[in-house]
Amino acid sequence: MIGAGSRAMVTGGGVRLGREIALTLARAGVNVCIHYGSSEEAAQQTLEEVREFGVDATAVQADLRDPVTAADQMFECVAEVFGAVDILINNAAIFEPGSLDETDESAWDRHLDINLKAPFFLTQRFARQLASGHDGAVVNIIDWRASRPRPGHAAYTIAKGGLLTMTRLLALELAPRIRVNAVSPGAILPPPGSDNEYLQQLAGKIPLQRTGSPAQVTDAVMFLLRSDFLTGEVVQVTGGEHL
């Protein structure tokens, strides 16, 4: 059972949903490694807040545009602090607009590397470092578009669709020692550069007629970590937007 004393790595853990997940884990007594790409100041601030809960914590920088190298760097760093981790939260992602015609090779590679290739090789590295006889859990943060594609974010949607398939595939491949599940958020936070007006415009299109909060996503993450008879599941935190 995942709980107090467990050790977690959260990618993109310094900002936005990653930050909320890291703080929620720490509140539950979980030791946390916060990965960040370029948000060093925010990651250090989150690290200080995490430590206020009395858990061990560290931060590690790695560029997920080079996924294999990043995975090696991150797990080598965390091994020096924790020895190993038994929770991996694949949260880091980029979200850029682009139709089929607008998406160039650079945008394609960037989305596939960060949003799909990195979670794959991080999970591979996670499985290899987990000590024999120990159980582990992976939670991937995907998107409702993964199961109900909409035009406008081609590379992003394809990468998240791949992450959905990866969740189910690796749940089979890594059982019984490692459970692999996913949380699929809907309208929770506005994209970087947007404000709450962006969310307000979405509310009327959602069956529950409102947007969600980061706490509802972290509740779903903790539910999956604590539910030791669930694997290959996707929890939709969308207010019905995915239907």
Q: What is the CATH number of the domain that holds 155?
A: 3.40.50.720
Gap between the Cα atoms of 98 and 151, Å rounded: 9
Inter-residue contact 115 to 156 (CB < 8 Å) = yes
In a domain, 242, yes or no: no
Which of 226, 177, 235, 237 has its CA nearest to residue 24?
Answer: 226
Active-site residue flag, 156: yes
Residues contacting residue 169 through CB under 8 Å, at least 6 positions apart: none
In a domain, 124, yes or no: yes
In a domain, 129, yes or no: yes
Selected catalytic residue, list 146, 156, 159, 166: 156
In a domain, 68, yes or no: yes
Which of 73, 67, 217 has its CA nearest to residue 139?
Answer: 217
Give pLDDT tens digits along the chain (243 positions): 577 899 999 999 999 999 999 999 999 999 999 999 999 999 999 999 999 999 999 999 999 999 999 999 999 999 999 999 999 999 999 999 999 999 999 999 999 999 999 999 999 999 999 988 899 999 999 999 888 888 999 999 999 999 999 999 999 999 999 999 999 999 998 887 777 788 888 888 899 999 899 999 999 999 999 999 999 999 999 998 898
In a domain, 86, yes or no: yes
Gap between the Cα atoms of 174 and 127, Å rounded: 8
**13: helix, strand or coil:** coil
**96: helix, strand or coil:** coil
Q: 177: part of which helix (H) or strand (E)?
A: none
In a domain, 76, yes or no: yes
Domain, as residue range, for 142: 7-236
In a domain, 52, yes or no: yes
pTM of the model: 0.95
Inter-residue contact 56 to 71 (CB < 8 Å) = no
In a domain, 1, yes or no: no
Domain count, the chain: 1
